[in-house]
Structure 1
Amino acid sequence: MPDLSKDELEIIFLSLIGAIIGLYLFYAGFRELQIKRIIQNTPTSKINTGAVGTNVEVKGRIIAEKDKIVRAPISGRPCALFNIEIQKWQRDRKSGFSRNRSLFSLGERRGWQRGRWVTIASFFSDAGFYVDDDSGANAMVLVEGATVNRSGTTQDYECSSNEFSTMDPDLYAVLDQNKRKIRSFKLKDSSWLLSNDYRFREWCFVPGEEVFVLGYADSNLKLARPKKAGVKFFLEAKKLIRKNKELQKRLDTNQDGKLDYYELERGAQAVAKKLSARYSKQKLEELAAKTKMVFRKESKHPFVLSNRHEDNLVSHMGRWATVKIWGGPIITIGAGAYFFSSFFI
């Protein structure tokens, strides 16, 4: 095998990546088309009469008691559940267009840099929420693993990695609380020379919002015991306060520029209470008594959650499925043409 130059290896790599992306889009398009047809062929059921143990389609409003409602860290919006997607700005090694990168160099531009945002981690604020359709029963939706199709805008917050300690304290607190879910991201200040740009993207579901759910309906509901603000949460809160200068300023009640013992203790108690807030035992038992089914991710079953009307959802999925089914082969053929033209023309 002849020795290949760096540019030739790059051409082979980019062509291969393009072909893989094209094939994946083609597969994903057919998968979405299949789910779209399942939605169209599955009648909407009432929760109290839905057939547990099969694919069920329901529509209802999100319910949440006062101590379950959380405040989204970026928008400040009260919600039943929010999602934070962490994206890193990935700069192109070569800016602009060149013969060797003309097929794949399209992207966003931030100032003088060309590149794109790449999602590196994502997490939900909670396991899920309850849905009520006025049928006398409710359903629990465990969101992890669902295909979420939302209408509406997201809220973004951008920050460099050398400025994490000065970011919005509410966002910092949420990221620190969920650090075990986002191990591919480290909430630690870097040096200015080694800093990277990050974008934190938020969306949320709010109490009273009407949602559409299609998925495997399970009847097995195991209630989690409500957590108390014990020693574990108190120590966690203290650690969080000591790391966040903005949070320290907010808890400095006498404004002397430093936290004394009593300010730290009071602040840690308040933060610990927020960390451990969940449904009360009484409310959990009340909700459980009315819960007919639980939606969760199951292999070989579609799981779709949306705030769109069903007709709008089907239309939206159909458009994107068509784009992927046709666009995938075009990208694959383009990658092959790029490879052929680079070596043989």
Structure 2
Amino acid sequence: MLLDLHLTADTQWLLALLCLVAIAVALWFVFSRLARYRLIADTPTARIRSAPQGYVELIGHVIAGEDGNLRAPLSGRPCAWYAYRVEELDDDGRTRWRLLRSGRSNEWFQINDGTGTCLVDPDGAEISTLHKHSWRAHTAFPAGLEQHPQGAAALLSLQRGEERYRFTEWLILEHEAIYALGHFHTLGGGRDQLDLNQAVRERLSHWKQDPEALLARFDHDGDGRIDLDEWQTARETALQEAQAEQQALHALPSMHVLRDPQQPRKPYLLSTHDETRLMLRFRLLSAGCFLAALIFFWLFIEVMLAK
């Protein structure tokens, strides 16, 4: 074999086990990336105005949420979505970055494809963006030393000219083209139907939790208890309120929402890369993981044949 390994029995079995685990992990990534590639390739693009309810693919342009653009926490740039990471260079003499803090926005934004607008809940989504920026600085806070929890140490670092902190930011900007694959649901427009019997039961149960208010509202004869006739009046009142709620739902305009399907075989993807580039990315990732699996399989054979 190519490697002339000399291993003890315990080391040989330990390395063999590690190789098998690595092969399993690499193959899992192969099939998961291929599954995403096939989903993107096989799912037809829907139009928001006529999209079916369920798992759909949308392509459109980003519109900021109802409260307008967000501000990216590191660069301060206006955006519809952001994620960031702040790292510090360790003092061990090697180039190793230690995570200080990270985060991402969960505020909703919108997609418009020319036929309609859809609200997008980014929570739980796998998000890839064209706008990724990374830079270094002397302090852990881009705004300056006054925010640094260790101001003296940061000032000394600045005087030495060391850029010990690395910032990385991912952004989705308003008006960018965006690809989305997730669970599409339309609210309002007469689509939402209440279970009137269930709604009545819930109201009555809620009223029972406050006996004094129940008596004040329905004890018409003032005897301190709710008799059968008064309870029937309470049921009729609960039904009328449920019917009024149903009418209010019917009067709401249609509102389209895209969110996480929360199903293992249906990933939630948002990307400002175009569909073709996204498919290529998953194919390359799958190929790279397959190559890694082959390398670990070769190492496994080398370890097993070691003397």
Larger Rg, first or second structure (1 or 2): 2
Q: Deviations over 1:149-169 (max 9, x none)?
A: 33344233456xxx54xx323
Paired residue for 1:317, among 259, 282, 295?
282
Within 2, Cα distance between the matches of 1:39 and 1:140? Answer: 21
Aligned residues of 2:86 and 2:166 also touching (Cα < 8 A): yes
The corresponding residue for 2:291 is 326
Within 2, Cα distance between the matches of 1:12 and 1:118? Answer: 33
Q: Which amino acid aligns with 1:50?
A: A
Q: Which amino acid aligns with 2:256?
A: K
Q: Deviations over 1:232-288 (max 9, x none)?
A: xxxxxxxxxxxxxxxxxxxxxxxxxxxxxxxxxxxxxxxxxxxxxxxxxxxxxxxx9
Q: How many residues align?
A: 227
The corresponding residue for 2:260 is 296
Q: Which runs of 5+ in 1 are unaligned?
A: 1-6, 93-111, 174-186, 222-287
Aligned residues of 1:138 and 1:290 also touching (Cα < 8 A): no
The corresponding residue for 1:113 is 94
Within 2, Cα distance between the matches of 1:17 and 1:298? Answer: 32
Q: Which runs of 5+ in 2 are unaligned?
A: 1-7, 158-163, 189-251
Within 2, Cα distance between the matches of 1:10 and 1:293? Answer: 54
Cα displacement (A) at 1:68: 2.2
Aligned residues of 1:23 and 1:332 also touching (Cα < 8 A): no
Within 1, Cα distance between the matches of 2:179 and 2:61? Answer: 9
Q: Percent identity?
A: 22
TM-score normalised to the size of structure 2? 0.60
Aligned residues of 2:129 and 2:172 also touching (Cα < 8 A): no
The corresponding residue for 2:27 is 26
Q: Deviations over 1:22-70 (max 9, x none)?
A: 4222211211111111111111000111111x21000111112684212
The corresponding residue for 1:147 is 126
The corresponding residue for 1:45 is 46
Q: Please give the root-mean-square deviation of Cα atoms over the aligned residues, in Å.
A: 4.0
Cα displacement (A) at 1:130: 1.0
SS state at 1:48 partner: helix
The corresponding residue for 1:168 is 142
SS state at 1:28 partner: helix
Paired residue for 2:271, among 300, 306, 313?
306
Q: Deviations over 1:263-322 (max 9, x none)?
A: xxxxxxxxxxxxxxxxxxxxxxxxx94532322251221211111221221122112111
Within 2, Cα distance between the matches of 1:296 and 1:122? Answer: 22
Aligned residues of 1:23 and 1:329 also touching (Cα < 8 A): no
